[in-house]
Amino acid sequence: MATPLLEMRGISKGFPGVIALDNVSLTIGRGEVVALCGENGAGKSTLMKILGGVHQPDAGEILIDGRPVKIHGVTDSMSHGIAFIHQELNVLGNLDVAANVFLGREPRNGFGLIDSKKIHADTAPFIQRLGLNISTRTRLDRLSIAQQQLVEIAKALSLNSKLIIMDEPTSSLTLTETNRLLELVCELSGQGVSIAYISHRLGEIDTCADRVVVLRDGKNAGELAHAEASHDRLVNLMVGREIKNFYVAPKGSKTPGYFKVRNASSSLHPGKKVSFDAARGEILGFAGLVGAGRSEMAKAISGLEDSPQQEIFLDGRLLAITRPRHAIDHGIYLAPENRRAEGLVVELTVRENVSLPSLEKFSRFGLINRRHERQIAAGQVAALKIKTPTTEARVLNLSGGNQQKVVLGKWLAMAPKVMILDEPTRGIDVGAKAEIYRLMRELADGGAVILMISSDMEEILNVSDRIAVMHEGEISGVLERADCREENVMQLAVGKTIPAAKPAFN
């Protein structure tokens, strides 16, 4: 039997108040694609961060090509041919694409200076291979999250790695970009490169994985060969129970025209305007390709983007929203796509993050009522099933999916009238998704307007009451529930007119 490329034996790791990994083992062969699955907090990312040199194990051993190795840091990991594409992007926005790809290993000329010409020439093939139609001289902060993700993948490819760890690599990608990435995974596997693929999207796993290893509560829960990895079997291993009804059927009365947006614009598409009506009690989904302007529209509505001609009506009243505080004061809340940069203060505790936007509710005479704060935070932890040892745990130490739940929790605690959710289940496991969808429906049934921006086609089609599709800064059409089909969404997303599409407002 051939020696595996990687063996991780009996790996254990603890953090304050949390046992993240308990005697976990993982084997990956040469050229094998192994999917690592599990609920948020199951230990997937922690296990891979140990392999990537980010964390040190408390116990266990790692073998590369049959030889025990010690990985003391990221440089050690890279020296063993391991590249790590993190779920939370590790890019420098003030540097261009090429500088990010070769960061820390820049080629030098005969004078010992960085050879800029060579960096750009060497970067171009990797960018082209990923189908990125951008210049290698483009600054990262001018790219979308999806494009930045692809730059991270280009960096991994440039390392000529033996093993690439991909942690939720498609969480910010469109369907087209996702398909290209999955094709690339298969190509790399055929060339002998091994892939550790962390994902909650079971369809992707079915497409690319040779084998699936499942973790649950920091332990090995089982593994399945590709032919055995049915949706139900994977879910049962991941959560230890059967999950039914992933999507909650719409119900409750609606009030048409309760929330109206007219002439919203953004810096991405300054010459275009977005106008639409949303009913009280409905979930209005927003679909579109990357760069269509969905997130920018959400920021304009929330006062984060300058939109001088914008008019917003709530229950027939014209609102003046030019700053985020104005939107918050009117009960309009945004849970942003980039949770770490825009939605959380990760150095603070769960309690502090939940209470942050509404501190006046918890204070009297300038003093904060910690007891009240803890009660509200504990309520959100219970309602959202946030995996944290206590409300005093720092958000930094939670898994990505649980961080996302904290973002939702701080707004849900404030009884929203309009809740804008930008990629609400990005990086969240299948069990938690069902909980998020249930909460969204409960909010809508309770009289809130839910605007859901999502790149997950399954999510858009199954959760939305209606779907507004955007193309290059404008709404190209709205689909009623009966017409919510993938082909209709994609036609509108590329700017085509179809009979099923309705106007965005009356």
Mark the ranges of the chain whose per-residue pLDDT is less than 50: 243, 245
pLDDT, position 248: 64
Query: What does the alpha-carbon distance between residue 454 and residue 201 come to, in Å, rounded to a whole number?
Result: 14
Instruction: Name the 3-class secondary structure at 8.
Output: strand
pLDDT, position 40: 66
Q: Would you state the torsion angle of the CA atoms of residues 477, 483, 488, 494, taken in this order, to the nearest 10 degrees?
A: 10
Over its C-alpha atoms, the chain yields an Rg (Å, rounded) of: 23
- The verdict on domain 245-331+416-506 having CATH code 1.10.287.90 is no
pLDDT tens, 352-365? 999 888 887 777 77
Does residue 266 contact residue 300 with C-beta atoms inside 8 Å? Answer: yes
- What superfamily would CATH give domain 6-239? P-loop containing nucleotide triphosphate hydrolases (3.40.50.300)
Token pair recorded at residue 36: 């690592």
Query: What does the alpha-carbon distance between residue 307 and residue 391 come to, in Å, rounded to a whole number?
Result: 38
Long-range residue pairs from 252-259, CB within 8 A, at least 24 positions apart, any chain: 252/281, 252/444, 252/445, 253/281, 254/279, 254/280, 254/281, 254/282, 254/465, 255/279, 255/280, 255/281, 257/506, 258/314, 258/315, 258/449, 259/312, 259/313, 259/314, 259/418, 259/449
Does residue 61 contact residue 9 with C-beta atoms inside 8 Å? Answer: yes
Q: Parse the chain into domains and list their residue ranges.
A: 6-239, 245-331+416-506, 347-405
pLDDT, position 383: 84
Our separate counts of H helices and E strands in the chain read: 16, 22
pLDDT tens, 78-114? 889 898 887 667 778 888 999 999 888 888 888 888 8
Residue 334: phi and psi, rounded to 5, are -120, 125
Q: Under 8 Å CB-to-CB from 74, ≥6 apart: which residues?
A: 52, 53, 54, 84
DSSP alpha helix (H) spans, 192-334: 202-208, 231-239, 294-301, 324-329
Residue 177: phi and psi, rounded to 5, are -65, -35
pTM of the model: 0.61
